[in-house]
């Protein structure tokens, strides 16, 4: 079986990139012939893509003509490689409804395809701004309905994403498959060096820290985290590590740094930039608590990575997997306000036994639901159904 994936495939996208990279590597190892066509931001430095040399599948990159805020993945140069690659594949896997490449496939090709929503219909994100909701509604009336209608299956990652999609399309339940993101647990089981991160940031050697890891974007609730940390920092000798970069280079990091300065927290907050590989694992292993206070999140792969590292998590009730985490007693779920985030962090910091219990439950939950071997098998079953 040969599958063509259409998706942004570069590290700055954040969690979705790492999750997709893990999935494609695994299904490729299981005998699926995989190829990828990925749009790139117009001024992206291709020297950052050296990682592709070690992958088991081929990737074609095409530079976008417009900023993603205007029309995600738009480039007329995408059309020919999509048409050419589709002639040699059994099916296509689209990642996102509001992307130019999805419109190309739905309007001009007859190849069957699976559509991963990737949070496209999470209601809080959908209506994040009036303008964004307005443009999405127009797109849906013109093209989006056809992209949804022609898909062989709609892929969502958790029950929350399923529920919110059905609020838009209640009649499509039979068309939906729920398959989560997965992790290669071998990477986490073999990683034992817990002191490497502190070597790079000596101030952390003799103190504790909490960590946020992800894109620096307003939807991630970093404003809530800074406010909550201001309250925590008045009570405890603690640092906050913010690991991530601007989403689409829109300057949001400057806003975050300004908040840190306004709260007089410059000496208690460390910005590491984007972390990957052993650097990311070491940062997560060493943290007392991982915090993801997002206003909307269709899954929350960074929280799953923290759980795999044995680090207890605090997440908002807008994170896709918050119900699963609550059911498995694998984390603290809070409301999206500074007081709620503060109480969640403080609850874990003040109770070592609870931290250990939640960390253990989190690791068991990852092994049960998010092992990439199990996830890849479910994905291949869906492809075989098509």
* Rounded average pLDDT over 336-365: 97
249 CB contacts (<8 Å, ≥6 apart)?
41
Q: How far apart (Å, rounded) are the C-alpha atoms in residues 10 and 53?
A: 13
Over residues 128-171, the pLDDT tens digits come to 656 677 888 999 999 999 999 999 999 999 999 999 999 999 99
| Overall fold of domain 2-182+371-385 | Rossmann fold (3.40.50)
| Overall fold of domain 185-369 | Rossmann fold (3.40.50)
Over residues 84-97, the pLDDT tens digits come to 999 999 999 999 99
* Domain coordinates in residue numbering, the chain: 2-182+371-385, 185-369
Least confident range from 107-111, 134-138, 228-232, 367-371: namely: 134-138
* Rounded average pLDDT over 34-40: 96
Question: Sheet containing 208-213: which strands, arranged edge to edge?
Answer: 269-271, 238-243, 208-213, 289-292, 313-316, 332-334
* Rounded average pLDDT over 55-61: 94
pTM of the model: 0.91
* Rounded average pLDDT over 236-260: 87
Q: Which residues pair with 5 in a beta bridge?
A: 36, 93
Q: Are 182 and 158 in contact (CB under 8 A)?
A: no
Q: Give residue 129's pLDDT.
A: 58
Among 173, 223, 177, smallest CA distance to 375 is for 177
Higher pLDDT pick, 226 / 70:
226
Over residues 177-233, the pLDDT tens digits come to 999 999 999 888 755 455 677 788 888 888 899 999 998 999 999 999 999 999 999
Can 2-182+371-385 and 185-369 be said to share one CATH topology?
Answer: yes
* Rounded average pLDDT over 63-83: 91
279 CB contacts (<8 Å, ≥6 apart)?
196, 197, 200, 272
């Amino acid at each position: 079986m040969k599958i063509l994936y259409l998706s942004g495939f570069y590290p700055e996208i954040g969690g979705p990139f790492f999750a997709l990279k893990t999935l494609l590597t695994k299904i490729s190892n299981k005998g699926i012939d995989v190829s990828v066509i990925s749009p790139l931001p117009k001024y992206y430095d291709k020297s950052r893509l050296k990682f592709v040399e070690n992958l088991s599948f081929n990737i074609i990159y095409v530079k976008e003509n417009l900023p993603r805020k205007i029309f995600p993945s738009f480039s007329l140069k995408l059309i020919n490689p999509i048409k050419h690659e589709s002639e040699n594949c059994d099916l296509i896997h689209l990642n996102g409804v509001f992307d130019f490449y999805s419109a190309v496939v739905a309007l001009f090709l007859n190849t069957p395809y699976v559509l991963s929503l990737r949070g496209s219909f999470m209601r809080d994100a959908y209506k994040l701004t009036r303008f964004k909701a307005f443009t999405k509604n127009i797109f849906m009336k013109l093209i989006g309905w056809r992209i949804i209608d022609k898909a062989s299956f709609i892929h969502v990652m958790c029950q929350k994403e399923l529920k919110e999609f059905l609020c838009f399309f209640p009649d499509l339940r039979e068309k939906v498959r729920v398959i989560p993101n997965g992790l290669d647990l071998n990477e986490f089981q073999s990683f034992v060096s817990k002191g490497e991160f502190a070597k790079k940031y000596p101030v952390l050697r003799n103190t504790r820290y909490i960590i946020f890891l992800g894109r620096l974007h307003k939807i991630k609730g970093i404003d809530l985290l800074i406010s909550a940390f201001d309250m925590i920092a008045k009570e405890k000798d603690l640092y906050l590590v913010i690991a991530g970069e601007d989403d689409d280079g829109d300057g949001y990091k400057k806003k975050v740094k300004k908040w840190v300065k306004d709260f007089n927290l410059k000496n208690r907050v460390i910005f590491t930039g984007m972390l990957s590989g052993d650097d990311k694992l070491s940062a997560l292993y060493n943290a007392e608590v991982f915090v993801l206070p997002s206003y909307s999140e269709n899954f929350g792969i960074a929280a799953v990575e923290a759980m795999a590292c044995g680090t207890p998590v605090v997440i908002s009730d807008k994170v896709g997997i918050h119900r699963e985490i609550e059911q498995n007693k694998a984390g603290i779920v809070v409301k999206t306000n500074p007081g709620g985030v503060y109480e969640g962090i403080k609850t874990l910091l003040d109770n070592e036994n609870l931290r250990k219990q939640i960390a253990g439950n989190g690791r068991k939950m990852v092994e049960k639901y998010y092992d990439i071997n199990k996830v890849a098998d479910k994905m291949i079953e869906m492809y075989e159904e098509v």
